[in-house]
Every structure is written in structure tokens, then in C-alpha cells.
Amino acid sequence: MLRVVAHSLLAANNPLPTLNYSRFQPYVCQSMLTKASRFDRLRLRRKRAAPLRIPERITFKHRRNAFRYASNAEMTTDPTYEPLVSETRERIVRAAMELFRTHGFHNTSLAQILQQAKTTKGGFYFHFKSKEQLGFAVLERARDFWIDNVIDVISHEPDVRSRIHRMVEIMTDMYRGDIYHGCALLAVLTAEMMEHPSEFADRIKSILNDWQESIVEILKKGKADGIFRNDMDSNALALILIGCCQGATMMGHLDPERVDYDQLLHDLEQWILEGVARR
């Protein structure tokens, strides 16, 4: 059908009344039609075939597919192409994030991801070579979310106490799922990968290290401003805080009805501000 459309455009020798393809004209005239004509000559020489039937009406779908037929490089010139790519990839990543959070990485099948994302195997492998590569994309999304929605947000707060309070608010929303189950996702993947050394596990460690460093920076500023005690070990306290958050997440997965994230994080905030406050 694509060659039929290409030949019909070549035979017309003038633009169709309903087609404005000026921006694609170099591709239509030089690449697509040349390729279609060469392919057709070989086809007729090797095997006798009936003449190609030219459709009476060339629709927008025919023209769009004909432009994409030119070559992979020229596919990107189609204004309808890139948004479709981004939308499909986004659906796949979001579906994987939710499935990894609820079932874990190894217990999530490719079939589940395809069903959740409402896409095909072809659509999946167009964007990702494997489930592992998709897992890397999910981890990068978690890292970006932490930077964009936590670190950058609390940096605008006027003092250390306000930053800690704002961080607790955001994390509470994350645990409840009002924003995004980022902490729950990392907690599940950390528990799953800690006994399986791999590049995937190394990337999780890198995200947790970044999380720890961001908390250490706040605690050190609190010490410099005279809010926290000088004998406080910022690295140790940051690690304890992350451990508390991850542990609360796992308990919430096991028994959601008994875990009140709002109360837990509120108490944790009070223990930080009061327990390490400078006397």
C-alpha cells in the first residue's frame, strides 16, 4: 500500500489539492519515490505481477505512512511522530513503576507491563531493549523526582527547621500516594536487590547515597547555624532517618491498616528537632 501511495504521488506530477507537503517535498521526491520505484522495478523483473492498483482517494493516514516509509531518519520529520513516541514511553515507565512497587522487579512480567501500559511488544522494544533497561529508566525517574520535587522545593525554605518540616510534608504525601510512591518503590526494590549484586543494585545504592547526602547537607547547615548540637554525627543521623523511612514503608506494605504515616513522620520530625537541638 505504501508503494501504491508513493507511485500515485509520483504520477500526479503536481500536489494533491488536499495535501500540503511542502516541508516534506525533498523526502517525497528524492528518497521515498526513488526507493519505491527501484523496489517495484526489481519486483516486476523477478516475478510477473499484476499492475499496482492506485487507490481512488489517498487519506491522511496513507500520506503519513508514506512519509514514514522513506527511512528511519526521515520518520522524525513527521510532526505526528515524536509526541506518539513520548506518550508510549511515558505509559510504559509509569506502568513499570506501579508494578515494581506492588510486585517487585523479578515478580513483574513483561506481559503485565504491556497490559498495564496498553501497548504491544513492538512498542516496548522500540523504547527499551529489555526489562532491565526499563528498570534503569524507572530508577532514573525516581532520582529525578527526588531532586525536582524534594531537594529543589525545600531549598527555597528560609531556614533549616522549615526545610525539615517541608521535607516531612512531601514525604508524607509520597507515602500516602497523593504525589507518587517514590519511597515505597525504593524500599521494595532495595529489599529485593540487597542479596543480588548487580548494576541494578548499584544504581539503587547510588540513589540512596544521594538521598543521604541531601539530608546530611541540611543537618550540617543546622549545626553551622547553631540549631543542632556540634557533637551530632550528620552522616549517621541521615542514615538512621533513611532506615526509619524505609522500615516504615515495609511495615506499611505488610499491614497498611496499622501504619499511620502522618503520625510516624510527625513524631520523627519532632525527635529530630528536639533530640539533636542545641541546649
Q: Is 44's pLDDT higher than 70?
A: no
Q: Quick one: what percent of the chain has pLDDT higher than 70?
A: 65
Q: Where are the domains of the chain?
A: 2-79, 83-127, 131-275
**The pLDDT value given to residue 96:** 94
When mean pLDDT is compared across 24-38, 83-97, 108-122, 231-245, the lowest value belongs to 24-38
Q: Residue 165 carries which side chain, given as an amino acid letter? A: H
Q: Which of 215, 189, 214, 213 is nearest to 203 (CA)?
A: 189
Report, in angstroms and rounded to the nearest whole number, the Rg of the chain calculated over CA atoms.
28
Residue 91: pLDDT band with limits 50, 70, 90: very high
Tell me, yes or no, if the two domains 83-127 and 131-275 fold the same way: no
Helix axes 131-146, 81-103, angle to 10 degrees: 90
Range scoring the smallest mean pLDDT among 52-56, 159-163, 172-176: 52-56
Please name the CATH architecture into which domain 83-127 falls: Orthogonal Bundle (1.10)
pTM of the predicted protein model: 0.62
In this predicted structure, the answer to whether residue 59 has a pLDDT above a threshold of 60 is no
Distances in Å between the Cα of 245 and the Cα atoms of 13, 135, 248, 251, 266 are 69, 22, 5, 10, 12
Average pLDDT, the chain: 72
Residue 83 clears pLDDT 60, i.e. is over it = no
What CATH number labels 131-275?
Answer: 1.10.357.10
